[in-house]
């Protein structure tokens, strides 16, 4: 048995984490244990076992976290309606805390003194990983090679791998940085580093087609929700993972959920990426439609404020914080009656509402009709407007008395 101290590495088998294994051994003389997390990225992870060992790891854990990811991270964020900067559905953001949580659990099990990750010093992921570690195991040392080694580019990393005969899934000619899970697929790098360039979608897209290539006929779907959680598709009850997988297929072939965004990273710089989130985009649209008839005005408007703050917390890696937990508790209360069905028409990248109903609907046709009704007295509006406008009237009277001209 090795007497060396142990470090547990968040391992994906990609360029960065592939070279981190030998780098940790060369520079720290640690026993390196790899941990690969399956969060629904659609890849067979078993080949990583041989690859990690050949790269120098003493052991590798391959952990299936997909169901926990959907139920404990994706759905709470969906219920909150959280969207970062109006576009980004947080696909990478909320995957990092669950990975880091498992990393910590394995480190404790193995008696490791440190954990390591392959996030760069320019990005958000370093913060997301490390805040989780600090929240769950502050005693662990955190090693972030990109902040301390002399490798300065992906080209340098490719050369480092080649010198040690480590196979990596990129080349100097095609070096997009991608992150995939059951919720989304992100693309960064190459032509996307210049916002003036149109993305080369035929080369980029893997989950979706462009709207131009989507079918010429619309696709209708019906989603059922219980207390804000999606539970059925087209009348069939489905478990969370299966439901999302089916929506990804349906959304992908209809060109749904492709965004091109220049976003503000937490570290202060702007970055540009293309995201594919077909199923998630459908779920957000359906959830909003259902809330429109189930939430009262004040709750809906305040929840919009909460959604923005919730999105920032998720994006910034502050999942395991008292504020995020408190906001989730608030959201859960708002979802008590968000139960019903939503019908949507999907057509060439568009999501068009096609009907919504709920046993808890607050929509009253007898109140809002333009026809004759017996439940609303139009004369009541006069007193309401007089009281609602009283501060304006008092202000205007004061200005007139003092001859104040705006």
Any known ligand binding at 159? no
Any known ligand binding at 177? yes
Q: Is 72 a catalytic residue?
A: no
Any known ligand binding at 12? yes
Contacts with 268 (C-beta within 8 Å, 6 or more apart), sequence order = none
Any known ligand binding at 82? no
* Cα separation, 30 vs 221, whole angstroms: 53
Catalytic residue among 38, 55, 96, 154: 96
CB 334 within 8 A of CB 301: no
Q: Is 177 a catalytic residue?
A: yes
Any known ligand binding at 11? yes
Any known ligand binding at 220? no
Q: Hey, which bits of 219-316 come out as E strands? A: 219-226, 229-233, 236-237, 258-264, 270-276
Contacts with 349 (C-beta within 8 Å, 6 or more apart), sequence order = 210, 211, 214, 254, 255, 256, 258
Any known ligand binding at 251? no
- Residues 222-257: b if buried by 16+ CB within 10 A, e if exposed: bbbbeebbbbebeeeebebeebbbbbbebbbbbbbb
CB 222 within 8 A of CB 247: no
Any known ligand binding at 16? yes
CB 278 within 8 A of CB 248: yes
Length of the chain: 406
Any known ligand binding at 386? no
Any known ligand binding at 203? no
Catalytic residue among 38, 55, 125, 272: 125
Any known ligand binding at 120? yes
Catalytic residue among 55, 177, 208, 358: 177
Any known ligand binding at 190? no
R_g over Cα of the chain: 25
Q: Is 49 a catalytic residue?
A: no
The DSSP secondary-structure symbol of 233 reads E
Any known ligand binding at 88? yes
Indicate the annotated binding residues for L-aspartate.
120, 124-125
Known binding positions for L-citrulline: 88, 93, 124, 128, 177, 186, 263, 275
Instruction: Report the binding-site residues for ATP.
Output: 10-18, 37, 118
Annotation: binding site: 10-18, 37, 88, 93, 118, 120, 124-125, 128, 177, 186, 263, 275
**Catalytic residue IDs:** 16, 96, 125, 177
């Amino acid at each position: 048995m090795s007497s060396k101290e142990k470090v547990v590495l968040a391992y994906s088998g990609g360029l960065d984490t592939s070279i981190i294994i030998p780098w940790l051994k060369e520079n720290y003389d640690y026993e390196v244990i790899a941990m690969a997390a399956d969060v629904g990225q659609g890849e067979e992870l078993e080949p990583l076992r041989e690859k990690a060992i050949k790269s120098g790891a003493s052991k590798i854990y391959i952990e299936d976290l997909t169901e926990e990811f959907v139920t404990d991270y994706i759905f709470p964020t969906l219920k909150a309606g959280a969207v970062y900067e109006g576009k980004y559905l947080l696909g990478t953001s909320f995957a990092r805390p669950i990975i880091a949580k498992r990393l910590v659990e394995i480190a404790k099990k193995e008696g490791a003194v440190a954990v390591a990750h392959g996030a760069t010093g320019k990005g958000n992921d370093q913060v997301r990983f490390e805040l989780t570690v600090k929240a769950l195991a502050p005693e662990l040392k955190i090693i972030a090679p990109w902040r301390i080694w002399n490798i300065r580019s992906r080209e340098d990393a490719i050369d480092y791998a080649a010198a040690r005969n480590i196979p990596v899934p990129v080349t100097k000619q095609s070096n997009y940085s991608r992150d995939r899970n059951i919720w989304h697929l992100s693309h960064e790098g190459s032509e996307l580093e210049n916002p003036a360039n149109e993305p080369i979608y035929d080369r980029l897209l893997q989950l979706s087609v462009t709207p131009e290539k989507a079918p010429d006929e619309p696709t209708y779907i019906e989603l059922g929700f219980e207390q804000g959680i999606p539970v059925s598709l087209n009348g069939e009850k489905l478990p969370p993972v299966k439901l999302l997988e089916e929506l990804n297929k349906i959304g992908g072939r209809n060109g749904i959920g492709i965004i091109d965004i220049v976003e503000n990273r937490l570290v202060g710089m702007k970055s540009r990426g293309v995201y594919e989130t077909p199923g998630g985009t459908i779920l957000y649209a359906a959830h909003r439609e259902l809330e429109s008839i189930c939430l009262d005005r004040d709750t809906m408007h305040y929840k919009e404020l909460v959604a923005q703050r919730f999105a920032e917390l998720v994006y910034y890696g502050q999942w395991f914080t008292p504020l995020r937990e408190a906001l989730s508790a608030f959201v859960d209360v708002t979802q008590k009656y968000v139960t019903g069905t939503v019908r949507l028409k999907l057509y060439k990248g568009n999501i068009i509402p096609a009907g919504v109903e709920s046993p808890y609907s607050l929509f009253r046709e007898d109140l809002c009709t333009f026809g004759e009704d017996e439940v609303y007295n139009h004369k009541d509006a006069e007193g309401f407007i007089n009281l609602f406008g009283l501060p304006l009237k008092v202000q205007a009277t004061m200005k007139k008395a003092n001859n104040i001209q705006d």
